[in-house]
Amino acid sequence: VYFTPEEVRACIVTCGGLCPGINTVIREIVCGLNYMYGVVDILGIQGGYRGFYSKNTLQLTPKSVNDIHKRGGTFLQTSRGGHDTNKIVDNIQDRKINQVYIIGGDGTQKGAAAIFKEVERRGLKVSVAGIPKTIDNDIAVIDKSFGFDTAVEEAQRAINAAHVEVESIENGVGLVKLMGRYSGFIAMHATLASRDVDCCLIPESSFYLEGQGGLFEFVEQRLKENKHMVIVLAEGAGQEFVAQTLQAVGEKDASGNRLLLDVGLWLTQKIKVSWR
């Protein structure tokens, strides 16, 4: 063990969008540090990255986080953006923090890497641990990201509702758009679990609309056979087709992620026009 437990001052911060299980992760870090290593000085940074230099901190103990896993959201609050590497590292240095646990997605982890590089440049003895937060399950080195199972379970509700709706209408087509910027794990697993889905479109597998073997041909075939169908669509699928129809402006959110075009609305309009 590199650090002497009595000399450790750790901090935990949550950034970006919400995800099921964040509070459980916070709780396990606090309890693990305390019970397994004897660390007693643990700070909670409130409100994301900007909380390092503009918010108060919380003193975290096993008792204070005892039941937070029963709540939704994040106990520490969150925000997008607000990353100022120098201000954050100044704060880490001033507070004599030597372990930083950062819970967040793509943009957050890029920020964590920048913090580590600045810490290294200054020669500080600080460990920076990035904990990936993504319900998309799009991390190759782990079996499953936290929040993924809950996302698939909740997706079932939307799929079931769509199936009930289209089954009650002649030639009804239900379109369920699910999260999945660059990967279709939620869409794929929800489809496999449902058994009511006729077609699943994901970013990893390209598709086309017209012609032999196209989506429209398949939709027509299913409507003839069943009189209804359900399509599950990951939000990142078909972006190249949407960009040809809608003006792509290349905007990004506060975390630096590219804003996706609405493939659900685009496909809905295409299907309506085709069967008008």
- Which residue out of 41, 90, 94, 136 is catalytically annotated? 136
Q: What is the DSSP string of 56-85?
A: -EEE--TTTTTTGGGSSS-TT---S----H
Active site residue 149: no
Could you write out the DSSP letters of every residue in 202-251?
-TTS---SSSTTSHHHHHHHHHHHHSEEEEEEETTTTHHHHHHHSPP---
If we measure between CA atoms, which residue out of 141, 121, 124 comes closest to residue 132? Answer: 141
Contact between 49 and 88 under an 8 Å Cβ cutoff? The reply is yes
Pairing mode of beta strands 10-14, 42-45: parallel
User: For 59, phi and psi rounded to 5 degrees?
Assistant: -85, 120
Per-residue DSSP letters for 30-42?
HHIIIIIH----E
State the catalytic residues. 136
